[in-house]
Amino acid sequence: MEISLAAEKIGSFLGLPVTNSLLMTWAAVLILIILGYLAGRRPKLVPGGIQNFFEMIVEYLLNLTDEILENKTVARKIFPLIATFFIFIVTANWMGLIPGVGTIGFHELKGGKEAFLPLLRGANADLNTTLALAVVSVFATQIFGIAVIGGIKYAKKFFNFKGPIEFFVGILELISEISKNISFSFRLFGNIFAGEVLLTVVAFLVPWFVPLPFFALELFVGLVQALVFTMLTLVFIKMAITDHEAHEEHELQIEKTEETSS
């Protein structure tokens, strides 16, 4: 059994490569569109079923956004992005655990040797997907920082010419902003990819009931990683819309949040 870090190409569409992880991404998006349509098709004053389930998630995420940002105006504006992050990531994580993902496929000749090519691969088990999510998160952080405290004041966090120490600290802040892409990407990718590899190996070596505890663990990990990504995005936005003097308090929040993902 060969394990590949990169997603495998299984075809092309209009000249663009289509990978097995991209198929799972499309499937996750399609499922969410269908569930969203069913939940909002006939809204009731007293919700039930799928409407009630989605309202519970929305209420929890909205309260979480309000609590962390401490600014209802900004919270309402950023909430759609935050909710999209959480719902998509947890859906993609759990879909990667569906039996057959990573194990159903076909064999092909690769470098003169026969290699197994899985038809499906978890969306977040592909670094390209997690990198795209990270870029959106970091870009949104900068946009909201500029919109709330102003472009000049926000730029002073990175380019401060009051003295050599302030200038050096600003450069470190700039490097930190860039490194968030790497941190976001590899944290989510590493946890999800490792979990899927663990399940595949265990199921291959000892099938039937032995993988069940690991499956339950990965369900929990998928939920936690979605929550961690969402909370870190909120904390970084909170730091971006806060004056530099108040950063220390929110850096402690980041440390506590990152500890839960390790």
- pTM for the predicted model, two decimal places: 0.82
Judging by DSSP bridges, how do beta strands 9-13 and 16-19 pair with one another? antiparallel
Q: Between these two residues, 1 and 12, which has the higher pLDDT value?
A: 12
Render pLDDT for 162-196 as a digit per residue (tens, 0 to 9): 777 777 777 887 787 778 778 888 888 888 888 87
Percent of the chain whose predicted confidence (pLDDT) is above 90: 19
111-135 pLDDT, tens digit per residue, is 667 777 788 888 898 888 999 999 9
DSSP labels for the chain? ----SSPPEEEEETTEEEEHHHHHHHHHHHHHHHHHHHHHHS--SS--HHHHHHHHHHHHHHHHHHHHH--HHHHHHHHHHHHHHHHHHHHHHHHTTSTTTTT-EEEEEETTEEEEEES---GGGSHHHHHHHHHHHHHHHHHHHHHHH-HHHHHTTT---S-HHHHHHHHHHHHHHHHHHHHHHHHHHHHHHHHHHHHHHHHHHS-TTTTHHHHHHHHHHHHHHHHHHHHHHHHHHHHHTS-GGGHHHHHHHHHHHHHHH-
